Amino acid sequence: MTDITGRVALVTGANRGLGAAFVAALLERGASKVYAAARRPESIATDDPRVVPLQLDVTDADSIRRAAEVATDVTVLVNNAGIAANQSLVTGDLDEIRRELDTNYWGPVLVTRAFAPILEVNGGGAIVSMHSALSWLGVGSYSASKAALWSASNSTRVELAPAGIQVVGVHVGYVDTEMAADATGVKVPPQQVVQEALDAVANDEAEAVVGDTAQYVKSHLHEDVRVLYPQLAR
């Protein structure tokens, strides 16, 4: 298990929404430093000396490399940065679908590849990746990108365990942030998401399944596919 107290963390997409909530929660739990990573680090508004704005574009390999050269003391990584293009996989804009996969799948994979050796050298730690309830429920390109990340987390969890690196996947429905501003239905407060995610880290768990939507979807994964997709019913 990973105690946050005294840890150095890095959060991608930290300039707003869930990323900003992760930064605040990590500090509340005793992190000694948090690299608040964003494409535009000047967008990180803080007067807390423990928060270090860091330029990081998860779709740019050179940017990831430069960030890893700076943040060599990290032991907790939060892969939070993501976008929602919400395209049809059959008829949607392929450029948008690729952009979504580059951000939501390849971004966390490449950031993990860059920082896993750093965590190992520093004695181990934790990687938290934001999946989604839609990693288990297919509704287009966003779901595909998050399902790919879920699979990647399962693989890296096994691969990194011998190095003392815990991998936590966070599944949640709509979160009450700007990304879901136009969505209808129940939205989970970002503070709840980050607290349950960090509880999973502290309790040595592999997943945080946050909110009723994510819990409902997971509870039906073992059933016939038509339970989650009633439009397929005979």
Domain containing 131 — which CATH number? 3.40.50.720
The pair of three-digit structure tokens given for residue 194, joined into one six-digit string:
């980050």
Range in 6-15, 63-72, 169-178, 209-218 the model is least confident about:
169-178
Range of the domain at 102: 8-232
Q: What pLDDT is recorded for position 180?
A: 62
Q: Indicate the helix (H) or strand (E) that contains 98.
A: helix 94-101
Q: Is residue 87 part of a domain?
A: yes
Considering the chain, what is the average pLDDT of its residues? Answer: 95
The pLDDT assigned to 89 comes to 97
Q: Strands 207-210 and 165-172: what pairing?
A: parallel
All residues at 6 or more sequence positions from 154 whose CB lies less than 8 Å from its CB, including other chains: 169
Query: What pTM value is reported for the model?
Result: 0.94
Is residue 215 within 8 Å of residue 228, measured between CB atoms? no
Work out how many domains the chain is built from and give that number: 1
pLDDT digits (tens, 9 = 90+) for 32-70: 999 999 999 999 989 999 999 999 999 999 999 999 999
Residues 170-193 have pLDDT tens digits of 999 988 777 766 777 778 999 999
Residue 1 lies in a domain: no
**For residue 1, what pLDDT band results from cuts at 50, 70 and 90?**
low
Residue 146 placed within a domain:
yes
